[in-house]
Amino acid sequence: MIRSLFELRALTLGACLAIFAAPRLAAQQDPKQQSAAPTTVSAKAIADQLGAKLQPRDDDELRIGMSFTAVLESPEKLAEVGVKGMHAGARVTVARVAPDKIRVEADEMTPVQNSAAATLKVDAAGKLVKP
């Protein structure tokens, strides 16, 4: 049995934690709530979707924590994903910050100094989607 007030408090705390943790654990196991993050993301495919020209690379896979820099060729494609006001020739930096998130930053010095950024989701097929 319970020998002291300390044991009673410890048991009560444990029961409260279990009650609050159970719904969170169930939500983590629910496949409907899991994002459909792709296992591999192609740097070339992402650059194409953004309208940017990527220099040849040895490895095309964009892993979590990796980034690349490209030159913007089609500003209208970049504007479609929410990074507006850029012109051809702007520098586009892309980083995979999470399994399903891509950070896109663009900046240019001419005709005027300008920069813009957006964090986008990437679906299971590798297509960029505005969150």
pLDDT tens-place values along the chain, 131 residues long: 556 766 767 767 667 667 776 666 555 554 444 556 778 999 999 999 999 999 988 999 999 999 999 999 999 999 999 999 999 999 999 999 999 999 999 999 988 899 999 999 999 999 999 87
Domain map (residue ranges) of the chain: 1-34, 43-129
List, in sequence order, the alpha helices (H) in the chain.
5-29, 43-50, 75-80
Q: pTM of the full predicted structure?
A: 0.70
Other C-beta atoms lying within 10 Å of the C-beta of residue 127: 13
Around Cβ 95, how many Cβ atoms within 10 Å? Answer: 17
- Least Cα distance to 81 among 116, 42, 39 occurs for 116
